Amino acid sequence: MGKKLLIVILTIAILIVAFSIVFLVFIEQKGEKQNIEKPDLTNMTNNNSSALVLKEEYFDYILNEIGAYNLHNPPLSSEKPIIKFDIEGEFFTSEIAENKITTKKGDFGQEDLLFTITKTEIINAITSDDMKGYFVESVKSGKISIEIKTDKKQLFLKGYLSLYKELTGSEISPDQIE
């Protein structure tokens, strides 16, 4: 019995070490923040937010500032993280590949998260001195909503869990997943 117990203990230890390496290398990857210039919206106010013509660069900037550059493909997969924005019925879809955020106007691809946000909140977030702090407060106050559109396993493998917790202050619960 002694040899069998030793083999079981060694096997468990090897599995723990292997899982830890996979987790650190693939799952908890930390990307490098992109150098995306803050869009100039100084001439916009809440009174004329309807005049704002939305541009892809606004969403690249927002996602970069909230840390979406840390998202990544699941290990051994080419499936990229996708975040979609619904701005008063107008859609922009962002894809993260190799820590680079690329946004295109339109509703395409199966998103992992859907942000519903108004033009006013986009202006307020971008013009804020603390964009991420403003965004987090807007999520917590309900001015910006986040809808989870994929399963928790995919969110975990793509690195969303820490981003979601930073934005909402809470963990993803099973009843939030579509």
DSSP assignment of 26-80: IIS---PPP--PPP--TT--GGGGGG----HHHHHHHHHHHTGGG--PPTT--PP
pLDDT in single tens digits along all 178 residues of the chain: 678 888 888 888 888 777 666 555 555 556 778 888 999 877 665 556 777 789 999 999 999 999 999 999 887 888 999 999 999 999 999 999 988 999 999 998 789 999 999 999 999 999 999 999 999 999 999 999 999 999 888 888 899 988 999 999 888 765 555 5
Q: Does domain 33-176 have CATH number 3.30.1050?
A: yes
Give the Cα separation of 42 and 54 in Å (integer).
15
